[in-house]
Amino acid sequence: MDKSQDELSVILAGYIITLQEQVVSNKGEDSFPDKNKLNSGNEEHIKIIVEQGKKLLDLSQGSMFFGLNYHPDDKSPLIKLFTSDLEQFATERGLHLGGKHILLYGQSKIPDHALFHLAASSLLPNTYTTIQQTAGLAFNLYSVPFKIRVSLENKIKSIIGFKSLDVIKKDGQKVESYEFPFSHILKELTYTECLDLPCSLKNIKKIYQWSCGFCHTGEKEPLWLSMKALELISPLFIYKYQKIYEIDASDLWHKYVLSKEYLEEKARDQTMFPRPVYMFRTGWSVNKLQTHLNKPENPTRKYKRGDAKEIIFNLSEKELNEVQCYYCSRTKEHY
């Protein structure tokens, strides 16, 4: 018989009280834990477990979760998932959760065979109605870090107006590439401090490094880390935060040096969103960042690859995105 929400809450609350006694400090932090620290011990995990577990237990009518007005019906299943993950984690790591000794072993990886059939089943839904397959629900949960990774890559692309790379091969051949050197870009954005973001680049870097794990191994990440990551990056995606950075495209035109005819031509140009999201600090622009990436004052900061003589970044204001949102019929809000 399934436990009630109150019963589940009591169990999780008991676990959290026990875990609080096992760390020096369980104060919540506005940063994502370092991947190496996560892999080397339990303390960083326990801090996040306690923080996210308390937030989960404190959810009530009108609460905000990941920037959303949460639905009360989400609480019980999320507590159940959280508690199950915690019990499995405690079993694997030898953590004491108080009370009776708990041993819980469960699936921690989606094998290659299952991943293949999950891919095929998306294209052949009728064929797979007769094939026994149980990995679908697990994949939806396990793949949260992968979805976070892709969302961050595409968001940073749109923020800086990334279009493409011109790769000049060592034999002189020029190839256009759409590969996005995410780590290098983050490094340079941190160095230049050219952006005004609602969340830190340091957190974005740590979350991105953590999120790559599932792509390489298919292994499950603990639920509390996915919750922490979604909490920290939500201001990049939630509608009301995007609106803060919305500008009129004409604000990017240098009216003091351009002719009336040019301005009229720009106004007729439909290849750029009329009201893009613009997160550059004063004194910076898409063009200035492009210049820095291609001709940095310190040549050692230039992006290099072993297979190329030179790589040129192509950025464009036309690649900036407009505010994006989904409408919620329950709350009558945009997210």
116-160: per-residue pLDDT in tens? 888 888 898 889 888 877 666 778 888 999 999 999 999 999 999
A 10 A CB-CB count for 226 gives 22
Q: At what angle do helices 43-57 and 223-237 cross, to 10 degrees?
A: 70
Q: What percent of the chain clears pLDDT 70, i.e. is strictly above it?
A: 89
Two tokens at 26? 């369980």
pLDDT at 87 over 70: yes
| pLDDT at residue 277, rounded to an integer | 97
- Band of the pLDDT at 102, cuts 50, 70, 90? low
Using only C-alpha atoms, the chain has a radius of gyration, in whole angstroms, of: 24
Q: What percent of the chain clears pLDDT 90, i.e. is strictly above it?
A: 65
What's the rounded mean pLDDT across residues 171-186?
A: 96
Two tokens at 266? 């720009």
Asked if residues 274 and 301 have their Cβ atoms less than 8 Å apart, the reply is no
- Band of the pLDDT at 334, cuts 50, 70, 90? very high
214-236: per-residue pLDDT in tens? 878 888 899 999 999 999 999 99
pLDDT at 270 over 80: no
Asked if residues 282 and 247 have their Cβ atoms less than 8 Å apart, the reply is no
Measure the CA–CA gap between 193 and 78, rounded to whole angstroms: 37
Q: For residue 311, what are the β-bridge partners?
A: 167
Of 65, 46, 233, the C-alpha closest to 145 is: 233
Of 295, 293, 30, the C-alpha closest to 164 is: 293
